Structure 1
Amino acid sequence: MDMIKKVKLGSKGFMVPAQGLGCMGMTTLAGADVYGKADEKDAIKTIHRALELGISLLDTADLYGPILNERLLAKAISGNRNAYQIATKFGYEIDDNEQLTWAINGKPDYVRKSIERSLKNLNTDHIDLYYLHRVDPATPIEDTVGAMADLVKEGKISYIGLSEASAATIRKAHAVHEITAVQSEYSLFEREPEVNGVMDTLAELGIGFVAYSPLGRGFITGEIKSPDDFAADDFRRQIPRYQGENFYKNMELLEQIQQMAAQKNITPSQLALAWVLSKGAIAIPGTKRIKYIEENAAATNLTLSAEEQIALESIIPAGIAAGNRYDEYSMNGVNI
């Protein structure tokens, strides 16, 4: 398998693989499994195999665990830190007992507290890409990004990112310090960044776009046949898109994607990833197994014709997917 090509993220010369690795599912979240049971040894082997394939961008967050995910990555990259680009996020408030309060905190003093904690947990002296995980509506974005800019000056972070920010917020933030990347959920089933002005704004300002959950939280793999297939504590049980009637409506759309993938002799996941990459995004599909990192990596060698892109987008036009991508509480925290 060919090594994954490197591309520029943002306009400052930050070179990353065209596909990264989302690490959230490698640990629990607030004591519950996110996407089924995780095994630390398998996860570490997957991270090492990713690097062999050229997937050096690892995406984590202090939220995941909380804390546990960053510590897992520290183990995985021990002795080989400089071979990887580490992206982590802060903003979901974690107290001094390492417990989530579930508040969003973008205050400058919390920015400082968070970076020191993440540096310690990742066992590193710098983080390549540091994201604000969610915008704090109670703190001006200029204050949060100003504090992050101080971390750049100090060499503790190299580049600044935002996650799930609105076009207006991105502009305000970028005026304070150059934003290198914005991360949002983006897939064949979630195309909101195309219609809410985010992707247009990023293109105008020269900011990179990172697509998380490019496989629809695993739905596009086709391995989940029914809402009952999710484990009792699986995060996806809380998502309206994968509940009841919505699940089956979306399955009808997926069947058309599966047919198109079969015609190309590739998996639905590979087709979906090739589509995301064709839109100019960096995809960060999450997995904790070597089998899937290899399958996902192969998608970077695929090219979709204009006709194939149009056909895919006609199957799932923006906004057609049934059900929201988060519960009501979490939907209030996106596009701020």
Structure 2
Amino acid sequence: MTVKTTKLGGTASGVVVGRVAHGLMTMHLYALRMSELSDDVCFASIKAGVDRLPAGTKMFLNSGDFYSITRGTQNIEMLGRFYAKYPEYADKTFLSVKGATTATLEPDASMEGMRRSMDRIEAALGTHKKMDLFQPARVDPKMTIEEIMANLLVLQKEGHFTHIGLSECSAATLRKAHAIHPITAAEIEVSLTSYEPETKKVIEAARELGISVLGYSPVGRSLLTGTVTKVSDLPENDFRRHLARFKEGALEHNLNVVSVLPKIAGEKGVTQAQVAIAWVASLGDHVIPLPGSSNPERTVENCSAGDVELSADELKVLNEIAEANNVVGERYFGGPEEKFLWG
């Protein structure tokens, strides 16, 4: 099977990347992992995705300066050790990092907040790799997008990163930001169970403007993988037990909404996760699914989903599920954190 690739948007339009990106959050984020992963496991997971790509193609890696069990910079420190051990992988990867938050993960896109992120990231990452792209993790509601972009442009000109991205932005915000300076990528949640009206607006705006969309959580935090069929399947300390869509009653309803996935996956000889990721990729060449993995085999499975071809009939069924939007429960916990979505 041919390994598919695509080009990034904005100022990175000449960069060819794998059809599926690799999110690194599951390696270290405190809400997802209660014990330390070894460097060998993390390194193997990253290399597994990179090594399957054709020459000249980069793996899009997505990190954050708060991906850590202790809310430190563990994930980026791991990347620093990875690039020190495998310096040849610096050119084989396109590194995006999210930051500009407070210690309590509130958005802080002030110059002070962003410089704090630059200091944290650069100290952790070391000298073998520079950030390719930086994204404020959320749009700071205390500032206008014009002010946020002004700060980003100062830091870009100083050489801290090459390209500018946004995360959890609305279509209107994306258009305003891009009018100031080309945006390379907008990171939003996209899946069969997260396909809101604003999701479609961002994807369309990005298509018009030549911007990549990074669709995070394309498998619905495992809701679409077939591995979670009841709440008791989740470990006692798993943060998903607190998510609205995984609550007793809601989980059963939501699994029923996507009950066709096992049939489609079985007939194609692929996994349910691959069907879900392939559907996100079907939304446009500029839409890049962003699943996360800390397991080499899972990384290959996720990336291989970019090569899965869905038939017209399969797409019709899946599109109807997404458009119906019959999922029960908010995307997160149904609380104050929702206010930072679609900034």
Report the TM-score, using the length of structure 1 for normalisation. 0.91
Aligned position for 1:39: 37
The answer to whether the 8 A contact 1:47-1:76 is kept is no
Question: Alpha-carbon deviation of 1:37?
Answer: 5.2
Among 84, 89, 104, which residue is 2:98 paired with? 89
1:250 aligns with 2:254: yes
How do 1:218-257 and structure 2 match up within 5 A? 218-257=222-261
The answer to whether the 8 A contact 1:28-1:38 is kept is no
Question: Alpha-carbon deviation of 1:36?
Answer: 6.8
The answer to whether the 8 A contact 1:230-1:237 is kept is yes
Among 170, 183, 189, which residue is 1:185 paired with? 189
Alpha-carbon distance between aligned partners in 2 of 1:53 and 1:6, rounded to the nearest angstrom:
11
Aligned position for 2:52: 53
Alpha-carbon distance between aligned partners in 1 of 2:289 and 2:36, rounded to the nearest angstrom:
22
Q: 1:149 to 1:324 in 2, by over 3 A?
A: same
Counting matched residue pairs gives 326
Aligned position for 1:123: 126
The answer to whether the 8 A contact 2:29-2:66 is kept is no
Question: Alpha-carbon deviation of 1:177?
Answer: 1.5
- Computed over aligned residues only, the root mean square deviation of the Cα atoms, in angstroms, reads 1.9
Is there any run of 5+ residues in structure 2 with no aligned partner, and where?
none
| Other structure's SS at 2:106 match | strand
The answer to whether the 8 A contact 2:187-2:215 is kept is yes
The answer to whether the 8 A contact 1:9-1:181 is kept is yes
Overall identity of the aligned pairs, in %: 32
Aligned position for 1:96: none
Question: Alpha-carbon deviation of 1:200?
Answer: 1.9
Alpha-carbon distance between aligned partners in 2 of 1:203 and 1:150, rounded to the nearest angstrom:
27
Aligned position for 1:141: 145
1:109 aligns with 2:112: yes
Among 267, 270, 278, which residue is 2:282 paired with? 278
1:332 aligns with 2:342: no
Q: Deviations over 1:27-52 (max 9, x none)?
A: 142xx4x1675522322211121111
Alpha-carbon distance between aligned partners in 2 of 1:145 and 1:11, rounded to the nearest angstrom:
14
Question: Alpha-carbon deviation of 1:196?
Answer: 5.7
Greater displacement, 120-129 / 35-44: 35-44
Among 72, 76, 85, which residue is 1:70 paired with? 76
Residue type of the alignment partner of 2:299: I
Q: Deviations over 1:168-194 (max 9, x none)?
A: 211221222111110001011111266
1:268 aligns with 2:266: no
Question: Alpha-carbon deviation of 1:105?
Answer: 0.5
Alpha-carbon distance between aligned partners in 2 of 1:319 and 1:107, rounded to the nearest angstrom:
36
1:10 aligns with 2:17: no
Among 198, 202, 226, which residue is 2:206 paired with? 202
Q: Deviations over 1:279-324 (max 9, x none)?
A: 1211111011112112122212211122221111223434211111
Q: 1:192 to 1:158 in 2, by over 3 A?
A: same
Question: Alpha-carbon deviation of 1:84?
Answer: 1.4
Residue type of the alignment partner of 1:257: L
Is there any run of 5+ residues in structure 1 with no aligned partner, and where?
94-99
Q: 1:160 to 1:318 in 2, by over 3 A?
A: farther
Greater displacement, 279-288 / 223-232: 223-232
The answer to whether the 8 A contact 2:98-2:134 is kept is yes
Q: Deviations over 1:31-88 (max 9, x none)?
A: x4x1675522322211121111226211110121131111112222322322211110
Residue type of the alignment partner of 1:135: V
Alpha-carbon distance between aligned partners in 1 of 2:316 and 2:236, rounded to the nearest angstrom:
38
Alpha-carbon distance between aligned partners in 2 of 1:60 and 1:275, rounded to the nearest angstrom:
23
Alpha-carbon distance between aligned partners in 1 of 2:262 and 2:191, rounded to the nearest angstrom:
15
The answer to whether the 8 A contact 1:164-1:334 is kept is yes
Report the TM-score, using the length of structure 2 for normalisation. 0.89
Residue type of the alignment partner of 1:113: R
Alpha-carbon distance between aligned partners in 1 of 2:36 and 2:225, rounded to the nearest angstrom:
18
